Copies of this chain bind each other. A is one copy, B any other.
Amino acid sequence: MTPIANDTFLRALLREHTPYTPLWLMRQAGRYLPEYNATRTRAGSFLGLAQNPDFATEVTLQPLDRFPLDAAILFSDILTVPDAMGLGLRFAAGEGPRFERPLRDEAAIEALRVPDLDRLRYVFDAVSQIRRALMQDGRQRVPLIGFSGSPWTLACYMVEGQGSDDWHRAKTLLYSRPDLMHRILAVNAEAVAAYLNAQIEAGAQAAMIFDSWGGTLADRAFQAFSLDYSRRVIALLKREHAGRRVPVILFTKGGGMWLDAMADSGADALGVDWTVNLGEARKRVGARVALQGNLDPAILFAPPHCIAEQARAVLDDFGPLRAGDRVGHVFNLGHGISQFTPPEHVAALVEAVHAHSRTLRS
């Protein structure tokens, strides 16, 4: 078992006592960092960066060298799995992701298969390489998080072919041919589970499922088309590896109303966005899961003293943590950090979270 210098993140996810609230930031390796932009320029493109283990390792470690963050997260894209299924992922300049061959007819859906994991070898190589790069004086600095899009979130892009305001095509398929949508989701669930297990075997010490678009679904449709398939993924995951429990985090943006059902998904922790009151969420999930979140990323545009005040308010909302409490909190944003965030504002956030959470525990 590799010793980890700072394992507060893993312990908080497992609802064990920690001296302060650990934090990391969704998209912490990203365009708000000048060093990231420099690496991306050298890589030539986003996919050139994400698909090259050397570059992926470099950018994964950049935010850790700037800020005392409590976890590293694999630098990759959420759409690697459908790309490996043959849908042809492309990023046009200044635009979001697009698939060259979206699922537009029954034949394409029937032909969909769990991809050969060899096509995702570059991801697992990056995980192993990041793990090695995290070693310092014989210990791993912080744990490494692996991740995937949820089966539903992948299906949104696979049917639509690109991002959408209303997921018109994906929802039309869901309501008019639920059998076909279930077929896509069943393949996706199996593929996502295999993909995350391979990341865990390569060295990922926690797994996060990004259900970015679950919150666009209607009540009832969310349970049947998003949550049920995330649950299926979680049931298939390796939960112990290399002598440690591998915690799983399920994050549905806009899913605050469904936390009670999500707490029974098998996940160790639930990610929540900024519309959720953490104290109320804590009451609702009880001792079933830890919580991760939930500062509005827009707060990072305000001056450092405002950021510190709002970060303290989030910690206060969650409330005190005493030794023996079977609850856990990992601080994060409620969504990915904006590319327009000044890096020094992130430093102010990290300091405020660490300092105030120590106070709350003393």
Residues of chain A at the chain B interface (Cβ within 8 Å): 166-168, 171-172, 175-176, 215, 217-222, 254, 256-257, 274-277, 294-299, 301-303, 306, 310, 313, 317, 334, 338, 340
CB distance from A162 to the nearest CB of B (A): 15
CB distance from A26 to the nearest CB of B (A): 14
Which residues does chain B contribute within 8 Å of A168, judged by CB atoms? 298, 301, 338, 340
Q: A176-B302, A176-B303 are in contact. Are A221 and B296 (CB under 8 A)?
A: yes
Name 16 A/B residue pairs within 8 A (Cβ), A-sorted.
A166-B298, A168-B338, A171-B301, A175-B299, A175-B301, A175-B306, A175-B310, A176-B303, A217-B275, A217-B296, A218-B275, A219-B274, A219-B317, A220-B313, A254-B275, A256-B256
This chain's copy number in the assembly? 2
The CA-CA distance from A63 to B1 in the complex, in Å, is 68
The CA-CA distance from A72 to B313 in the complex, in Å, is 44
Which residues does chain B contribute within 8 Å of A167, judged by CB atoms? 298
With beta carbons under 8 angstroms apart, the residue of B172, B277, B310 that contacts A301 is B172
A298 and B257 contact, CB distance less than 8 A: no
Which residues does chain B contribute within 8 Å of A274, judged by CB atoms? 218-219
Which residues does chain B contribute within 8 Å of A310, judged by CB atoms? 175
Which residues does chain B contribute within 8 Å of A276, judged by CB atoms? 219, 257
Which residues does chain B contribute within 8 Å of A294, judged by CB atoms? 218
The residue on B at minimum CB distance from A259 is: B257
CB distance from A168 to the nearest CB of B (A): 6
Which residues does chain B contribute within 8 Å of A218, judged by CB atoms? 274-275, 294-296, 299, 334
Which residues does chain B contribute within 8 Å of A171, judged by CB atoms? 296, 298-299, 301
Which residues does chain B contribute within 8 Å of A296, judged by CB atoms? 171, 217-218, 221
User: Considering the complex of A and B, which 9 residue pairs feature the smallest CB-CB distances, nearest first?
Assistant: A171-B298, A175-B302, A218-B274, A172-B301, A218-B296, A176-B302, A219-B277, A256-B257, A175-B306
What 20 additional pairs, Cβ within 8 angstroms, besides A168-B298, A176-B306? A166-B298, A167-B298, A168-B338, A171-B299, A172-B301, A172-B302, A217-B296, A218-B275, A218-B299, A219-B275, A219-B276, A219-B277, A219-B317, A220-B313, A221-B296, A222-B275, A254-B254, A256-B256, A257-B275, A257-B276
A166 and B338 contact, CB distance less than 8 A: yes
CB distance from A166 to the nearest CB of B (A): 6
The CA-CA distance from A171 to B221 in the complex, in Å, is 31
CB distance from A129 to the nearest CB of B (A): 33
CB distance from A301 to the nearest CB of B (A): 4
The CA-CA distance from A13 to B24 in the complex, in Å, is 46
CB distance from A277 to the nearest CB of B (A): 4
> Which residue, of A172, A175, A221, has the highest number of chain B Cβ atoms within 10 A?
A175
CB distance from A292 to the nearest CB of B (A): 16
